[in-house]
Amino acid sequence: MIEETLDFAPLDELLDRAKAEKMGLIPVLQQTQEIYGYLPAEVLQRIAKRLSLSPSQVLGVASFYAQFHRHPRGRHIIQQCDGTACHVRGAKNIITAVQDQLGIAAGHTTPDMKVTYEVVYCLGSCALAPVAIIDGNVVGRLSDARMTELVNELP
């Protein structure tokens, strides 16, 4: 992997604000992830140091929640729901089709960093089952054909 040098300036600005506003650790991590797209190890260490927390406490929280990512993610994010309602309405076939199409297993990113494909649990849109979220937009009543078409259309 290519070593990237991280720009800590926006992080330090956030942490100054976090200290002044007594922000909780979760909003700090959420906003940090908005800056870097994920939570690199050196960033977590810097957060711990600046907020006078133990590194284990910060890593503990960052690793607990599904929406915190400790590895770089693709330019497009696809989250396929496989909750009970989506599952009985055919999410399984969609997952198999997309995994074949992208050549990666769910939970991974294509080598060109274009797409991260994740299987998630109930998204609370069961009336539209099966559903997925593509780059933040909910798409419902999917079929495997429709989904592979949507994946193909990603710029």
Q: Output 50 or 87, the one with its CB closest to other proteins.
A: 87
* Residue 25 tokens, joined: 């650790």
Give how far Cα 13 sits from Cα of 24, 34, 50, 100, 152, Å: 16, 14, 11, 43, 39
Angle between helices 91-102 and 144-152 (to 10 degrees): 30
Which of 104, 133, 139, 150 touches other proteins by CB under 8 A?
A: 133
Q: Output 1 or 127, the one with its CB closest to other proteins.
A: 127
Which residue type sits at 123?
L
Which of 10, 25, 35, 76 touches other proteins by CB under 8 A?
A: 25
Enumerate residues 78-97 that contact other proteins by CB under 8 A. 82-85, 87-89, 92
Minimum CB separation of residue 81 from other proteins in Å reads 9
Please give the backbone phi and psi of residue 138, each rounded to the nearest 5 degrees, phi first: -80, 125
- Please give the sequence-ordered ranges of beta strands (E in DSSP) within the chain, or none if there are none: 76-81, 108-109, 115-120, 132-134, 137-139
Minimum CB separation of residue 16 from other proteins in Å reads 18
Residue 144 makes contact with other proteins by CB under 8 A: no
Minimum CB separation of residue 5 from other proteins in Å reads 27
CB 73 within 8 Å of CB 107: no
Task: Give the residues lining the site for other proteins (CB under 8 A).
Answer: 24-27, 29-30, 60-61, 64-68, 82-85, 87-89, 92, 120-129, 133, 136
